[in-house]
Structure 1
Amino acid sequence: MNVRMLVNLLGRGLLFLSLAMVPCILLSYYTRGDDLFSLVTGFLISIVSALVMLIASFGPTGELRHREGFLFVALAWTLAGFLGALPFWLSGYIPDYLDALFETVSGFTTTGATILVQIDALPRGLLLWRSLIQWLGGMGIIVLTIAILPYLRVGGMQIFKAESPGPTVDKLKPRITETAKLLWGIYVGLTCLEIILLMVGGMNGFDAVCHGFTTMATGGFSVKSAGIASYNSAYIDAVITVFMLLGGASFTLHYFSLSGNPGRYLRSQEFRWYIGLFVAGMVVIMWSTRSMYGSFAEILRYVSFQTASIMTTTGYATYDYTRWPAAAQMTLLFLMLVGGSTGSTAGGMKVMRLGILIKYAHREILRLIHPHAVVTIKWDRVPVSQEVLSSVVGFSIYYVLIFAITSLILALLGVDFLTAVSAAMASISNIGPGLASVGPFASYADLPSLGKALLTFCMLVGRLEIYTVLVVLSPMFWRK
């Protein structure tokens, strides 16, 4: 185990995290907020921790190998959660540290689940920090899913390796660096474009920046207790819907499109499935809610927004969808399970895995009919290897198992059935709001402490594609 390399990378990550607090500190100072002390203290603790780690690991670090790669990914998100929670906890606005940790992990994993009820009551420094951690989490997820996990062969992600822009070397460090440079530029550019469009629609600068951060990250945190519904603007709804769909699509497709090859969108099988599922889900929900709205324009506005929000696992809401008919809620629950595209900031199982599983099931039916037939599963016209297929099937089994076990434990803690099931799904799929007591205009505040701790773990497991966490927790990982 290359401990020096691991500590050095974690130190760099914490240094970046601590520097990200500076804009929040400046805003708090400018607005004379009562969160200044907590932000400064959180900054000092984080930067001192980072400097200690960097000094301790000074010198040649060597290459990052598979074992260190798994451990780095798991520790980076965990440390970010523990240190990022300090401003919320020290400010007194979230007096319980477990609640502060829940809120912060929800941010960094771009889940969007919250224990806050009166979000408007938070000072602007904390509101900016709350939005910024989602945006930073989205930046990390882009590189994680496009550069790191394909290299580590996690959950079938190796099929994505050939699609990644940047160097096709087998060493992880240059791959992370070059991919980050290419894709973060697109991420920042799309965020800035959305902020401008929101301001054109009448949203003030602060709100536009915060919602630009949380939309592109498909995170869903808002600076308003009523969320996007508080603006009551069809224009703002439309802008956010478009950018949620962009955030839920693969960033490699955005890269190739901006590089002069927009046809890659239509040639991508995952993108076609992604848009197809979005349209199909929207049609089902529009049909089942047709009697609840006064016009086609109204139903299109609310249903398209909510379908995009759930499928991209953003978690925004402009309408309380728990009041929709059962068919509409079941459709949303299915879209929660699927999630967005591989290589996006969205959570869920991912459209690619669903597609491969469906093709796998279809192949088994054909084998029963024609026992001697040789049927090759293809994705994007490329044969899917047995390694990828096994990895996808294994990932899906673990996904369902963790979801079922989490739902059962929540039920044993006294949580009602619909809340338990939807909270488990919303956490492992990194969506945020669920159904019943954790619906779009509710919070997770009333759940038992053990339940919140369990869901915090589920958010991390889901965000890190399950295998990353399970590998590190395996005793075999620690044997020489």
Structure 2
Amino acid sequence: MNYKMTVFIISKMLGVEGALLLIPAMAAFLYGEKSGLTFLVVSVVLFIIFLAFGRKVPENKTIYGKEGLVIVGSAWILWSLFGALPFFLSGSIPNYLNAFFETVSGFTTTGSTILTDIEILPKGMLFWRSLTHWIGGMGVLVFVMMLTSLDDENSMHLMRAEVPGPEADKLVPKARSTAKILYSMYFVLTAAEVVFLLFGGMSFYDALIHAFSTAGTGGFSNKNSSIAFYDSAYIDGVITVFMILFGVNFNLYFLLRLKEWKTVLKNEELHAYLGIIAGSIIFITLNIVGMYGNILHAFRYASFQVAAIITTTGFCTANFDLWPELSKVIILGLMVIGACAGSTGGGIKISRLLIMFKSVKQEIRRMLHPKSVTIVQINGRKISRDTMHSVYIYFICYILILMGSVFLVAFNNYDFTTTFSAVLTTLNNVGPGLSQIGPVENFYDFSALSKIVFCLDMLVGRLEIFPYLLLLSPDLWRRRF
């Protein structure tokens, strides 16, 4: 374990966070808010840490997979701990645990909140709150790699530890160039959404806030009633389309740039993703049409909420907790499924479900034809045994974490729907749940223990379990610094 290099990279990352805090500071000062000073104070602290530990490159610069996992797991916790300080020091969120919860929810693009009145927060704080979504969407390590120079092989270990999905590949030979390509596409899509929202009558500030949250598939809004505040079919439509776009594997956008249309159109994960969205919209539309008077209104609200939940964005235009049971069951299923691998969305990921489904088919075929040779393929590419093994272990760990978290949160003595959906929505980085944490409710009343569990679930869900399992390994910490 190369501890010196680990500390060096984490310190460098904290320095980048310090620079990022200057952006909401400028926004706060632009609106004449004194809260901008708290961003400056925290920024200075982070720069001091960077100067102390992140300037001198260690002689041994080599890191491997385990260092990558440790760096990623530790960095996300530290970014959240420091990122919560402006909320706490400014008094916007006077309880530090609540501030930490809100920040973790931001960086992990979950969108769950403890705020009972969002609109009373200063504009600088709301800007920082949504900016955490945008940074966390593509990944804080990917963001740092784009801005700084790290050894390319080392960078790839970090990218594979952070990019969601069963596999992470370089788009081009150099990992830093891959990070730049990913963020260039991310930036273009975000900017395009801002323009479309401006045409819908949003102010530039509101358009930026909601574009950040859509891009990161997080769902923070600066309005108490979320997107429902605007009551605009145009805005609903724009955000629905962009939520779906940000739930697509970004590798496919790179292939489109290379004009490899056939490869994109034949992508099995994309077919499954769009098919699940279309099927869910049809079922929910037909199920709720009686509540909205006509099929067009039902389609509008169904399509928005399906897109918001499967991409784990979590915006709301309707209180789906009041929908019929069939619709709520579909919503819960979408929470688990999540978006595509390599997207900014959370959840289990459609690629994993495809691998599991094809593995079951393979096993049935083996039973029927014991002497036959069968392989699991996706997009014509053989899935290695290591990848399949990793997927199986992920599912086992996912179920165990889900069960353990439900057990701990049950001490709050809420009804089962609230307890289960609260864990499910945080573990899958969705945002809203059902019953007492539905789309018009929040997490404020949960105990400190439950909020800690939710924070861990959000982090574990965003980084897909393994970095934090490694941090809990005693063998890792027995070695000398």
TM-score range, shorter chain: over 0.9
Q: What is residue 15 of structure 2 aligned with on the other side?
A: 15
Residue 401 of structure 2 is matched in structure 1 by: 402
Q: Which residue of 2 aligns with 1:245?
A: 244
Where structure 1 has 5 or more consecutive residues not aligned to the other structure, the ranges are 168-173
8 Å Cα contact 2:133-2:216 kept in structure 1: yes
Q: 1:272 to 1:409 in 2, by over 3 A?
A: same
Amino acid aligned to 1:46: L
Alignment of 1:30-429 (within 5 A): 30-55=30-55, 57-58=56-57, 60=59, 62-140=61-139, 143=142, 148=157, 151=160, 157-158=166-167, 160-161=168-169, 164-167=170-173, 174-175=174-175, 177-429=176-428
Measured in 1, the distance between the counterparts of 2:131 and 2:357 equals: 37
User: Contact 1:29–1:36 (CA<8 Å) still a contact in 2?
Assistant: yes
Give a deviation string over 1:80-102, Cα, whole Å, max 9, x none. Answer: 00000000011112111110000
The answer to whether the Cα contact below 8 Å between 1:88 and 1:100 also exists between their aligned partners in 2 is yes
In the aligned structure 2, how far is the partner of 1:224 from the partner of 1:263?
A: 42
Aligned residues: 469
C-alpha displacement of 1:12 = 1.9
Q: CA deviation at 1:263?
A: 3.2
Contact 1:131 1:222 in 2 (8 A): yes
> What is the CA-CA distance between 1:265 and the residue it aligns to?
2.5
Q: Secondary structure at the match of 1:281?
A: helix
Shift of 1:374: 2.6
Calculate the TM-score normalised by the size of structure 1.
Answer: 0.93
- Share of identical aligned residues, percent? 38
Deviation at 1:289, TM superposition (A): 1.1
Q: In structure 1, how many angstroms separate the alpha carbons of the residues matched to 2:60 and 2:235?
A: 48
Alpha carbons 1:143, 1:180 under 8 Å: kept: yes
Give the stretch that moved more between structures: 262-271 or 306-315: 262-271
SS at the partner of 2:139? Answer: helix
1:197 & 1:38 partners in 2: Cα distance?
A: 33
| Matched letter for residue 109 of structure 1 | T
SS at match of 1:292: helix
For structure 2, list consecutive stretches of 5 or more residues without a partner in the other structure: 144-154
TM-score (norm 2): 0.93
- Deviation, 1:451, is 0.2
The alignment partner of 1:225 has SS state of coil
1:156 touches 1:389 (CA, 8 Å); kept in 2? no
Instruction: Give the conservation status (yes or no) of the 8 Å contact 1:313–1:347.
Output: yes
The CA distance in 2 between the partners of 1:127 and 1:357, in whole Å, is: 40
CA contact (8 A) 1:142 1:344 kept: no
Contact map agreement 2:72 2:158 (CA 8 A) in 1 = no
Q: Per-residue deviation at 1:402?
A: 0.8
Asked if 2 retains the 8 angstrom alpha-carbon contact of 1:461 and 1:469, the reply is yes
Give, in whole Å, the separation in 2 of the partners of 1:324 and 1:100.
Answer: 32
- Which shifted more, 275-284 or 359-368? 359-368
2:28 and 2:35 in contact (8 A); partners too:
yes
Kindly provide the amino acid, as one letter, of the partner of residue 157 in structure 1.
P
Report the residue type matching 2:171 in the other structure.
P
Deviates more, 1:113-122 or 1:44-53: 44-53
Distance verdict in 2 for CA 1:218–1:207, change over 3 Å:
same
Letter in 2 for 1:16: V
Structure 1 letter corresponding to 2:39: L
1:201 offset after TM fit, Å?
A: 0.7
Q: Distance in 1 between matches of 2:161 and 2:224?
A: 40
**What residue identity is the alignment partner of 1:25?**
A
The letter of the residue matching 1:469 is: Y
What is aligned with 2:147? none
Asked if the contact 2:138/2:343 (under 8 Å) is kept, the reply is no
Aligned in 2, Cα 1:439/1:155: closer, same or farther, shift over 3 Å?
closer
- Please tell me whether the aligned partners of residues 247 and 344 of structure 1 are also in contact (alpha carbons under 8 angstroms): yes
Q: Name the aligned partner's letter for residue 166 of structure 2.
A: M
Counterpart amino acid of residue 66 in structure 2: R
Moved over 6 A (4+): 153-156
Deviations 1:84-129 (A, max 9, x none): 0000011112111110000000000001010001100011100100
**Once the 2 structures are TM-superposed, how far is the Cα of residue 149 of structure 1 from its aligned partner?**
6.8
1:338 and 1:154 mapped to 2: Cα distance? 17
Q: Distance in 2 between matches of 1:369 and 1:150?
A: 41
Look up the SS of the partner of 1:157 in the other structure: coil
1:440 partner amino acid: P
CA contact (8 A) 2:139 2:162 kept: no
For 2:63, what is the secondary structure of its paired residue? coil
Secondary structure of 1:263's aligned partner? helix
Q: How far apart are the structure 1 equivalents of 2:76 and 2:212? A: 18
Structure 1 CA distance for aligned equivalents of residues 261 and 112 of structure 2: 34
Quote the offset at 1:394 in angstroms: 0.9
Question: Structure 1, residues 166-192: CA drift from partner, whole Å, max 9, x if none?
Answer: 21xxxxxx52x1211111000011111
- Per-residue CA deviation, residues 280-329 of structure 1 (Å, 9 max, x unaligned), is 11112112112111222211111001000000000000000000001100
Distance 1:73 1:152, change over 3 A: closer
1:154 and 1:23 map into 2 onto residues whose CA distance is: 25
1:441 and 1:250, CA in 2 relative to 1: closer, same or farther beyond 3 A? same
CA distance in 1, matches of 2:361, 2:159: 26
Q: How far off is 1:413 after superposition?
A: 2.9
Amino acid corresponding to residue 45 of structure 2 in structure 1: I
